[in-house]
Structure formats: C-alpha cells, structure tokens
Amino acid sequence: MRPHPRTVIARFVGLILATGVAVWFGVSSFANYQWSQAEQSAARGRWTRVRGHLERYLTIRPSDARARLLLAEALVKDEASLQHEDAAQSALRHLELIPDATPQGATARVQEARIRFLILHQPAAAEKLLRHAMKLDTKSSDAPYLLWKLLDLTGRSDWAEETFWKVYAVTPKRERAERLREWYMSQFFPAYANPDLDRLMGFLSGQEQPSVKSEFQRLQHFRETEPDSPVAHAAVAKWFQREGDPKFALQLLDEVEPKLPAPFDEPFYVATLVAILIDLGEFERAEAVFERWPQPRNGYEFLKWQAIILDELRQQPDQAVEFYDRSLLVWPGIADWRTQYRKAQCLTRLGRVPEADATRNAARKIEKLMEQDYHSELRQAFGNLIDVRQLRKVCDFYRELSRHQELSAWTDVIRDLEGQSTGGN
Amino acid sequence: MLWRVLFWLLPPVISGCGSPTTSPPLAAGRGVVDDRHTAHSASDAANSLAALQATQVSEKPGAHGRLDVIPQLIDISAEAGVAVRFFNDEVPGRFFLPEVMGGGVGWIDFDGDGLLDLYVMNGCRLVGSPLPGDRHEPHLFRNLGGGHFADVSSSAQAIHFGYGQGCAIGDFDSDGFPDVYLACWGSDGLLHNNGDGTFSDVTVSSGIDNSLWASSAVWFDADGDHDLDLYVVNYMDVRVDNRRVCEFSGKPGYCGPGEYDAVPDRLFENRGDGTFADMLDEWGFTAENGKGLAVAILDLDDDLLPEVYVGNDMAPNYLFTRSHVTGRPETDKLYAEIATNSGCAVADNGQNEASMGIACADYDNDGRTDIYLSHFFGQKNTLYRNLGGLMFVDDSRRTRVAATSFEFNGFGSVAFDFDRDGWMDIFVTNGHVLGPQQQPHAMRAQLLRNDRAGRFHDISSSAGPYFQDLLLGRSAASADFDNDGDLDLAVSHLHRPLALLRNDTVTQRHFLGLRLTTPDRIPPIGGRVVVTASGHRQVLHLVAGSSYLATHDDRLLVGLGEHGDPAAVTIHWPSGRVDEFVLEPDQYWHVREGFAPETRGSSD
C-alpha cells in the first residue's frame, strides 16, 4: 500500500526537521566545543590553538562579539604564526566588526586603541577611539587610563588632569596610592613617567632609562607613523622649542602645515605654534594663529597664551594680569612659577608693587618646591607606598602647592594605611 | 616578543610606572628648576639629530631687508702683530672649569700718545709649578699707528703672574696715566702706570687682596669722592681640590654653575693714598648667591648717579643703586640691590640665565639706556628695555634678540653703531664651554643689525670672513684704535689667536667723537650726552665695564647718519653741570668739563 502523499510530505518534513535539528545541534555543539576549547586554551596561553578554535567558531557565529574580542587577543599574543604588525591588523579587522551597540562595543574600541597606540604607534587614531569608548562606557577605567598615558607620551601631560581624575574615580582603593604616584610623575616628570610603556613600544631597551633622547625618538616615531596628525608634528616641534631650538621647530611646522588636515582644530598645535612664534619675535603671526584657537576657548594653555599676548605683544599688563590669574587656577597653573613670575612683572609695571612682591614671593615659593633636591627626597618617599611617615612628606608637598585634590587623596591613602595598621592590632 | 604578553595585561603591568626613585635624572621635569643641564640635553639629543636638522638655516638671506651699508670687519691681528693665543692650560680629560673661561682684553692709551694700546690677558699653569721654558704672561701691545703694534710687555714690566681673566683699565691715582687691574683665577694684580712707559706691581702695597676667582672688574667712582674705586666680580669657588667632572650624553665635560658655590664680589674703596679697603658690605653691595661674570656701570635713571649692574651665571643678576626709587629696600647703606623689583634680575618668566656678556645702549632711541645680555646655548639672549624709573621689561622676543640667539653660547658683547646710522647694533662673540666632546662646540660670532624699528637681524653672513669661522669666542672690547671714526674690536678666543677686527665698513655717513674728562681726571661715568643731528636725537650714557672680562675705549663715538650738519651736543656731567655745544661732525672733540671743546683728530 502506498502511503498517502500527505504522510510522505509529513515524513519528509519531519526528516528535514530532524536533520535540521540534528545539524543545528551538531553545529551548535561544535561551536560550543570550539568556544570552550578556545577558552581553555586561552587560560593555558596556547594562543595558536585559541586562534584555530575561534576562527572555526566564528564561521558559525560570526556576530559573537566576545569571540572576536578573544580572537583579537589571541592574534596579538600568538607569537608563533604571524608578524606582529600583521597580527595587529588582523586583530583590528575583528575588533572593527564589533558594533558599538553591543555590550563589548566599548571594550572593543579600547582594544583597538591599544593596538593602534602600543603596537602600530598611532596615538592620534588611538586617541579618537579612546574618547569614543569613554562616551560608550562612562564607567570604564581602561579607556581614560590609556588616554592619560597617551597624553603623557605625546607631550601633552599638561592636558591630562581631567582624564586622570576620571581614572582615579574608578580605581580600586588598594591601587590608589600607585595611581597617585603615577600622577605625580605625570605632573612633574612627564618625559620619564612611563618607562615601562616606552620599553613595551620599543623606545627603550633593557635597563635603559628614559632620557631626552628616548623621548625625542618616541615623538619623532609617532610623527613618522602618523604624518597627518597635527599633534604628532606639534609634539616634535615643542620638543625642539623646549630644548632651545625654536627656529627649527618653526621650520618643521611650516613645512608640514600645508599638508595637514585642519591643524588649527587642534589646540595643542595652536598652542605650540604660538609659543614658537612668540619666542622668535613673530608677533603678528602669533596673534593671527592665536585667533584661530578652536572652541572651547578655555583651559590653562589658552588662558596662559592669551595673557602672554596681552602682556608681551599688546603690552596691556592690566588685562594680562586678569588672564594670568585665570590661568593660575587651572592645572598646571598653580605649579607654574614662571607664569606667576610674569604676572608679578605685570603688576610691577602697573605700579601695584605690594601685589607684585606677594606674587613674586609666591612664585619663589613654588620655584623652591620645584628644586631638584626637594623632588629627589619626594621620590625617595614614593619608594615605599606603605610608609606613612614618608607619605606625609608627599602631603606636605601638595599642601605647600595648594593642590587640595591630591592632598585629600593622599590623606585618604594614609588614613587607610593607618586603619589597616590599627585593625591589625 | 615580551611586548605581546605585556600588551594585553595593561593597565596592571604598567601601573607601577617604574619606581620613581630609580627614574632618570630630574632635568626636564616640567616646571622643575634645572641647571644648565637641561640645556645640555639639547646637545645630547642633537648628537643624534644631525641629519634631521641638516636643513636648518640660521637666518634666511634677505630676511633683514636690504643692507644699505655692508659691514666689513676684517681680522688684521697677524699683520698688526697682536695674534697671541691665550694659554688656558687645558689638560685633556681634566675638565677644570677655568680652562674654558678665556682671557680678557682691554684698550689703554698707556703712554698718552692718543693711540689706543692693547692689553691682553694670559693664563698660566693651573696646577703645579711652571715647567721649564714656560713663559705665559699677559701682553701689552703699543699701538705704533698705521695698524701696527709692538709687544712691549717686558720692557714696560706690565706683567703680573697669574691665571688672567678680566682686565680693568683705570687711572686710580689720577696722575693722567691709566693703570691696570688684572682679575685672575688665584690672586689678582694691580699694575701702576709709572708714566714713563713702565708699570709697577703695586698689588701688595695697595692692600687689594682678592684670591677668589675673579672674572670681570671695573673702575668707577662709587662714593662720589672724585677718585676711582674698584668693583671686582667674583665667580665661583672652583679649586683644584673641589674640581668636578660632569657627564653629558655619557661623555665627560665641564660642570656648570650648579655644581659650585658662589663667592662674594669685592668693592675696593680708593683711599686716595694708593691703598684700598674692601667696602662691599659697608656700602651695601651685599647680595646672595652671585656667580658673576660681567659688570657694567652707568646711570640708568638719569639722576647722574651710576648704577652697578652685575651679570650672574644661572643666578639672579644684581642692580645696585644709590637712587631712592620705588621698591628700594630700607637701608642706610650707600647702595641697595633692586634687580628683582626692577625686572632685570631674571628673564620675564623668572628663569635664571647665564649672563656672560653685557652690552648697554639706548637701542630704541627713547632716551633710556637698555641692557643686552648674552646667555647660554639654548637660552635666549635678553634685552631688558629700560622703562624709566629703574624699571625694566624683558623685551627679548619682540626685538628678535631671542630669535637670533638660541643656537649660540654668547660671551663678550659690544654695543656699537657699525654703520653710523644712529642706531646701536650689537656684536656678540660665541663659543661653548662644555668641552670638545659635546656638540655644538665652536660657534661663529654674530653681528646684529638694528633695523631702526626696534628689531635685530643677524647679518653676520655679510660681515666678512671672520664671521664665517667657528670659534670659541670669549672676551670682546671695542675701540677706534686707528682713530678713523668707527669702532674696531679686539676679540679673544680659546685655541686660536686674538682677533683684531678693523672696521673697514665703507659709508658716507658721518660721526662725532667725544672724549670727556672731568677736573678730577676720572671718566664721567654717571653722566650722559645728548646728541641731536638732522633731527635725530640720541642719548648716550657713559658706561664703564660691560662685555665680558673687557675694557673698551672710553671715548664716545656717535653715528650721525647721512647728513653732515653740525650736531647739537648737551653734556650732563656727574657734577650736575650741563654744557651745550654745537660741534662739527667727522672728528673727535676733547671736552673738559667747564671748558670749550677742542678738536683732537680728523675724520677719515
């Protein structure tokens, strides 16, 4: 007896479904197996295997953001198979496939930034990604941390305060002393604040210590890897200016400026160019460049250069004093004894001699706080972050400097240490 | 491949950030006070940046506009017979700082024949006794006229054995014959001009006793008692037994002022009987931490009382005044130190500068004399514009003094109007001090043209072959040694003979020469001269000292520009007397206070 056609169809559909379920089950099991194997291999540091498992896994589940994140990590860490730049590019391709809207979006942007900054040495590209990541995840600690370091390493430590306090806000208590110590180095010795990163990126070898030369090599390398970055060029120019060669600094910027996309949208570029032009007595051009300072027109560098232009170029000491005052309220104004000294000179010219004396005395006090011997002692104190007696010197320093936020943070650290000590008893 | 492992571990791995206690030297920390070593760092890195900087140009040709007068300063030292080398006793690897500071030069008409003679300091063995055959003595060159000099050191007995530094010329006993003070590393010396072509060493009998390391020195009437007192600038406490060697880029070199203690200056009062007494503290010349290299004496506030301006190396400069101006500290002493309140102690941003050379002149012709200072490599040179009332503003950037100076290590500096256009130009001799292993080392000298709009331009490339040579320039002293109405220069160097730069600049412009003498036979320092010709007014304050280790011709030479009209001359004597004359240009006039001017020579 021939089966009824409906039965045939039903059986066929059933078979198809069963096969489908079986296939789905098999594929799913295979994918799960690949994922679990990848995770196990990752835990053992077998990155070649991780890559293999995940590449198979992603053929089945190409939209799995977790897998792409892990594969990117594996690609970077797998020493056996790929040259690191190729690995980095492959990893980037995977990370770029992770949409912002996924839970891994912010992490993916941070990882992209890491690759671009630390492996490919593209800080400008990394900076954009980090700022974007910080918008995606306002509570992330990784993005602001890396951005802070990036600012240090691209010669912009003066622009890092806001970023640092974002980092600090999400830093666990047990790590806060270390983070504050890093911040001290970033504040006062930015060129030498990140030797491990310099080693990681190949700008220092072995036990080599950071130097003016290694700083230059880093900045110059960034300039080569990102020839379109106004920041990269400005950082090198600023290095030359700081080392007493503003002519060459200007030559560098003049040569590159026509080729740069929108250099005047970058305040660091504008600030650097203004400083160089003023050093060289090119006052008209300095004013013209300063007029192009992008919005928002605030912050220490803007206020300081506005004051110097009023003081030195326009010879309007009364208005200059107002802007000096405003600049001194913004970090690093309070530590900038040179700007305070300029303010004192303006006050003297205005005949406000007692105020000038007071400002000059304040500047001298800060200058004393910046002396090498003083900082050598402080850095000894930083050598042992559980020695309360030593850390009190750090508090004294910030108190003298009227930096209440750091003072408060270090006081908390000391209080915690003392609490632990009391608790232990 | 450690980087790969570390990479994904960030931030924890980097959180330690290295131990701050093991981090590198503190130089280059933002805002952190540094010594010269920050500037050294530029040369550190510069060693590896030569290729990058190879395209650098110092000043584009034509950047200063068309030159209407081509400067020609020709080194005639060999044919003139003055090409002597300063013996600096440089021992390779010793890095004893006096070796690199150079020796001074001073112009002196020691025989009163109207031709300026030349005194050139010399070194000697710095350590141990002289070796057999050693004969390192200062030189006195008699000007024979016609561009020739004869070394008369021995016959004139114008010799003091010591490691010579600065040379101060002044007639301390007002006998009409200028005497010589020799500032030395070691004991200084005083040579009395006997008036018969010979000198006597009167160091001991004069009571002058300075065994600190003296750099520059200057004669002037400090207390207004109508005789010359002596200000001696002392540098640092550098001895054989505290000598230090510093490292730059891993290579040894000479340590800077941060490594040594300051020593006080000296102010010797002339008692009028051939003896002197140190009145430094009594007269208020006490100031802390001076590491002086240069000194200039002039009236900076038109009260006919001279101020004393001392350039200190990486320490605030001094301005001592007798004037009772705003900001002068309460003191019953004759002088008070007011540089900080006056705005001429440090740069506009409060930074100490090296202050190796001083050149004072009214660069902007506003009637007030300004102060130019040469500084260390990587620092800007400074022009303190005089605002009046002993107030100054650092105007280095607007005037382009800064722009012309960053890549130079400046020493002797001279204000002179090389083209007679009535605007003061500047000569600077340059050369580094770190040692031959550091780059840059030798440097070219500079001629900076005043463009009459308050800005300076480096026109050295047009100034003759001397300005193309890389040198270790040190002292520079100006004088019209051939009495042709333009200033010539004597420039000392290390490792190379003295240069005598005869000013052969061809110009149809006119000049006026003035030799001013007071009844006391002392230079009228504190006085000023106002010269107006063809509507152009110039104010010239009489200056003693300045430059580095040097003494200039004490006559005034004024450029009058294109028009040969007679010049209206007003002389404000330190006594308060004012004399007014109308003088024909293109000649020297000898003006004695209270008497009619006499011609003294004619123009070329």
pLDDT digits (tens, 9 = 90+) for B6-28: 444 443 333 333 333 333 333 33
**CB < 8 Å to B57, chain A:** 251
Q: What is the rounded average pLDDT of the residues A376-397?
A: 90
The Cα–Cα gap between B486 and A348 comes to: 39
pTM recorded for the entire structure: 0.88
Answer yes or no: is pLDDT of B129 > 90. no
The Cα–Cα gap between A261 and B385 comes to: 41
Supply the DSSP string of B307-321, one letter for each residue: EEEEEETTS--EEEE
B132 in A contact zone (CB under 8 Å) = no
pLDDT digits (tens, 9 = 90+) for B541-558: 999 999 999 999 999 999
Q: Is B470 helix (H, G, I), strand (E, B) or coil?
A: coil
Nearest to A272 by CA among A295, A297, A293: A293
Answer yes or no: is pLDDT of A380 > 90. no
Residue B54: pLDDT band with limits 50, 70, 90? very low
Half-sphere exposure of A397 (CA within 13 A, CB side): 27
Count CB atoms within 10 A of the CB of residue A350: 14
Region of A206 please: left (phi>0), alpha (psi -120 to 50) or beta. Answer: left
Nearest by CB to B56, which of A248, A279, A338? A248
Burial class (CB in 10 A: 0-12, 13-18, 19+), B440: middle
The b/e string for B182-202 (b: 16+ C-beta within 10 A; e otherwise) is bbbbbbbbbbbbeeebebebb
B327 in A contact zone (CB under 8 Å) = yes
Determine the residue among A116, A192, A400 to mutate to test chain B binding: the one whose Cβ has the most chain B Cβ atoms within 10 Å: A192
Output the pLDDT for position A22. 86
What is the H or E stretch that residue B216 is in?
A: strand B214-220
Two tokens, residue B462: 């047009």
Region of B53 please: left (phi>0), alpha (psi -120 to 50) or beta. Answer: alpha
The b/e string for A136-149 (b: 16+ C-beta within 10 A; e otherwise) is bbeebbbbbbbbbb
Asked if residue B259 lies in contact with residue B38, where contact means CB atoms within 8 angstroms, the answer is no
Output the pLDDT for position B161. 84
Residue B296: pLDDT band with limits 50, 70, 90? very high
The listed range with the strongest mean pLDDT (B66-80, B296-310, B339-353) is: B296-310
Nearest to B298 by CA among B270, B319, B315: B319
Output the pLDDT for position B436. 82
The Cα–Cα gap between A106 and A112 comes to: 10
Q: What is the rounded average pLDDT of the residues B509-521?
A: 95
* Amino acid at position B139, single letter: H
pLDDT digits (tens, 9 = 90+) for B198-210: 999 999 999 999 9
The answer to which of A22-31, A281-290, B483-492 has the lowest mean pLDDT is A22-31
Q: What is the rounded average pLDDT of the residues B285-292?
A: 89
pLDDT digits (tens, 9 = 90+) for B27-44: 334 455 443 333 334 444
CB contact under 8 A, B397 and A279: yes
The Cα–Cα gap between A129 and A141 comes to: 14
Answer yes or no: is pLDDT of B53 > 60. no
Count CB atoms within 10 A of the CB of residue A131: 15
The Cα–Cα gap between B239 and B163 comes to: 13
Answer yes or no: is pLDDT of B1 > 60. no
**Parallel, antiparallel, or unpaired: how do β-strands B139-145 and B357-361 relate?**
unpaired
pLDDT digits (tens, 9 = 90+) for A69-125: 999 999 988 877 667 778 899 999 999 999 999 999 999 999 999 999 999 999 999
Provide the β-strand partners of residue B167.
Answer: B182
Nearest to B102 by CA among B500, B494, B550: B494
- Computed over every residue of chain B, the mean pLDDT equals 89
In angstroms, what separates the C-alpha of B420 from chain A's closest C-alpha? 25
Q: Which residues, in sequence order, are CB contacts of A378 under 8 Å at separation 6+?
A: A184, A393, A394, A397
The Cα–Cα gap between B371 and B380 comes to: 14
Output the pLDDT for position B65. 54
pLDDT digits (tens, 9 = 90+) for A203-252: 999 888 898 889 999 999 999 999 999 999 999 999 999 989 999 999 99
The answer to which of B183-197, B327-341, B357-371 has the lowest mean pLDDT is B327-341
Determine the residue among B5, B7, B13 to mutate to test chain A binding: the one whose Cβ has the most chain A Cβ atoms within 10 Å: B7
Residues 31-50 on A with a CB inside 8 Å of B are none
Asked if residue B430 lies in contact with residue B471, where contact means CB atoms within 8 angstroms, the answer is yes
Two tokens, residue A253: 């910027």
Residue B339 phi, psi (nearest 5): -60, -40
What's the ipTM?
A: 0.84
Output the pLDDT for position B217. 98
* 3-class DSSP string for B575-586: CCCEEEEEECCC
pLDDT digits (tens, 9 = 90+) for B145-172: 999 999 999 999 988 889 999 999 999 9
Nearest CA in chain B to A236: B52
Answer yes or no: is pLDDT of A376 > 80. yes
Residues 162-221 on A with a CB inside 8 Å of B are 175, 178-179, 181-182, 184-185, 187-197, 200-202, 209-213, 215-217, 220
Nearest by CB to A281, which of B22, B30, B399? B399
Query: Looking at residue B240, what DSSP letter applies?
Result: G
pLDDT digits (tens, 9 = 90+) for B112-128: 999 999 999 999 999 88
Q: In what order do the strands lie in the sheet with B189-193?
A: B163-170, B179-185, B189-193, B199-201
Q: What is the rounded average pLDDT of the residues A376-395?
A: 90
The Cα–Cα gap between B47 and B418 comes to: 36
Residues 254-293 on A with a CB inside 8 Å of B are 278-281, 283
Q: Which residues, in sequence order, are CB contacts of B211 under 8 Å at separation 6+?
A: B186, B187, B188
Q: What is the rounded average pLDDT of the residues A319-325?
A: 97
CB contact under 8 A, A246 and B343: no
Count CB atoms within 10 A of the CB of residue B597: 20
**CB < 8 Å to A348, chain B:** 327, 341, 343, 391
Output the pLDDT for position A423. 57
Nearest to B462 by CA among B64, B147, B54, B79: B64
Q: Among all chains, which residue has been given the structure tokens 């003081």?
A: A311
Q: Which residues, in sequence order, are CB contacts of B266 under 8 Å at separation 6+?
A: B210, B212, B214, B230, B231, B232, B234, B278, B280
Output the pLDDT for position B229. 98
In angstroms, what separates the C-alpha of B378 from chain A's closest C-alpha? 4
Strands annotated E in B279-340 = 292-298, 307-312, 318-321, 336-337
Cα Rg of chain A (Å, integer): 28
Q: Is B552 helix (H, G, I), strand (E, B) or coil?
A: coil
Give me the total of CB pairs closer than 8 Å, taking one residue from chain A and one from chain B: 232
Count CB atoms within 10 A of the CB of residue B451: 17
Residue B46: pLDDT band with limits 50, 70, 90? very low
- Computed over every residue of chain A, the mean pLDDT equals 93
The answer to which of A82-86, B69-73, B383-387 has the lowest mean pLDDT is A82-86
